[in-house]
Amino acid sequence: MSLTLGELTERIGRADERGLAVSALACLDRCIPLLEYVPGRPAGAEDTDTALRPLWEAAEGGEAWLGTLRAAAARVVASVGDTDFAPAEALRRAADVPRRYQAAELRDWAQECSRAALAVHRHLDGDRDGGPLATGELRRQERLLDLLAGEGDGLRAVLAQSDEGKRVLRAAAARRARRS
């Protein structure tokens, strides 16, 4: 059984700083491939597949990690330009990385990233609630929070889940682009 959006928000509210930071990074990372389909995206724009990869390799958190994430997110967003493409706007909000590695700021950011990821998936579902992509994303976020709350090598499993989500989103975006 999948969580409701309200229950997901509550789960995010109970996560520790590392869980908040990594879950937000995962949401942002999963949605970035959609930017490849932004109308009028300039040639040579940021490589969406590897833009945030270095942050996964050192996902220990802290101020320096947030600074690196802020710089990477800014490059990705700048590569899209000023388009009014709805998913790009959701990702711009999610790319507003906090200035401090503090639970309250991380919690707000993680919730914004969660909402942005759901908005992107809902967009690909034709802007309807309960579509298969949005429902799958809700389940994926639940699974990632479970992995981050557990013991062991949760980060590796979170990255694998996030990569799978990127493949799903990229395939859905490609199908939609072919139909247009």
Which backbone phi and psi does 128 adopt, to 5 degrees? -120, 145
Mean of per-residue pLDDT scores for the chain = 83
Question: To the nearest whole percent, how much of the chain has pLDDT over 70?
Answer: 90
Question: Averaged over 3-24, what is the pLDDT?
Answer: 86
Q: What is the pLDDT of residues 54-104, one digit of tens each?
A: 777 766 678 888 888 888 888 877 777 777 777 778 888 888 889 999 999
Q: What number of other Cβ atoms are within 10 A of residue 92's Cβ?
A: 16
Check residues 59 and 16 and name the one with the higher pLDDT: 16
Question: Averaged over 23-49, what is the pLDDT?
Answer: 76
Residue 2 has what pLDDT? 66
Show me where the domains of the chain are located.
Answer: 5-179
Question: To the nearest whole percent, how much of the chain has pLDDT over 90?
Answer: 17
- This prediction has a pTM of 0.87
Core vs surface per residue 44-58: b (16+ CB within 10 A) or e: ebbebeebbeebbee
Question: Averaged over 27-46, what is the pLDDT?
Answer: 75
Rounded Cα distance between 115 and 121, Å, is 10
Residue 1 has what pLDDT? 47
